[in-house]
């Protein structure tokens, strides 16, 4: 199972599988430790039971992590292929599941260019206004308060906007990939990196 980096297509699917395997292994280890103590001491009142009980803590965290990725909405292969045909020199981040106290926001794809944040969601139940407000508030905390945020449910409208951004990119000679590569950890995050930071 090849690791998929955050922001790349397939990230959510990879983490679902990884979290599932990790949780199953953790459960198996806890059970083995518990039953080993039961076989040796013929009682559940042994150090093995305590170790098994302590092992349930990281196992539970892993299980919660798995459920979160299970509920997330990854970008479909069909949408990914279509978006890739229109992205050209733009940097697209995929599989962004943004969490908040009120609700989660599933962003299949997102691009940032020249004070514009454009996103596409395949979740038809997503509250667009709340999602845009959430993203606006999050990026403003890193100093990007003057950015325009637009979330699309229509992939054709999203790709039309990508084409418009590509024209701006060419005219202004912006290299979004170089901008991200030049970012130094410990300094203020780029706007595109903020989107990764606020996602699962």
pTM over the 0.75 mark: yes
Alpha helices in the chain (DSSP H): 11-41, 47-71, 77-87, 128-140, 155-172, 176-182, 191-197
Asked if the structure places residue 156 within a domain, the reply is yes
Asked if the structure places residue 2 within a domain, the reply is no
pLDDT score for 38: 87
Q: Which domain holds residue 84?
A: 77-197
Asked if the structure places residue 6 within a domain, the reply is no
Nearest-angstrom CA–CA distance, 98 and 110: 12
What mean pLDDT comes out for the span 176-181?
92
Asked if the structure places residue 84 within a domain, the reply is yes
Nearest-angstrom CA–CA distance, 120 and 66: 24
pLDDT tens for each residue of 101-135: 888 999 999 999 999 999 999 999 999 999 999 99
Q: How many CA atoms lie within 13 A of 27 on its CB side?
A: 9
Q: Do both 35 and 53 map to the same domain?
A: yes
Asked if the structure places residue 126 within a domain, the reply is yes
Q: What percentage of the chain carries pLDDT values higher than 70?
A: 100
- End of a domain among 25, 43, 71? 71
- When divided into structural domains, the chain yields a total of 2
Average pLDDT of every residue of the chain: 93
């Amino acid at each position: 199972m090849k690791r998929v980096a955050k922001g790349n297509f397939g990230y959510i699917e990879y983490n679902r599988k990884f979290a599932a395997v990790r949780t199953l292994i953790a459960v198996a280890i806890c059970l083995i430790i518990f039953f080993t103590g039961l076989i040796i001491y013929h009682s559940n009142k042994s150090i093995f039971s305590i170790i098994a009980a302590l092992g349930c803590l990281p196992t539970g965290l892993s299980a919660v992590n798995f459920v979160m990725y299970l509920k997330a909405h990854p970008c479909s292969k069909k949408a990914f292929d279509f978006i890739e045909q229109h992205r050209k020199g733009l940097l697209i981040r995929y599989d962004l599941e943004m969490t908040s106290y009120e609700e989660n926001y599933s962003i299949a794809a997102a691009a940032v260019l020249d004070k514009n944040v454009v996103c596409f969601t395949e979740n038809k139940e997503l509250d667009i206004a709340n999602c845009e407000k959430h993203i606006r508030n999050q990026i403003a905390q890193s100093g990007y308060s003057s950015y325009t945020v637009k979330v699309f449910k229509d992939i054709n409208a999203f790709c039309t906007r990508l084409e418009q951004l590509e024209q701006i990119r060419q005219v202004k000679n912006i290299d979004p990939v170089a901008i991200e590569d030049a970012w130094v950890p410990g300094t203020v995050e780029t706007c595109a990196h903020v989107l990764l930071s606020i996602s699962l």
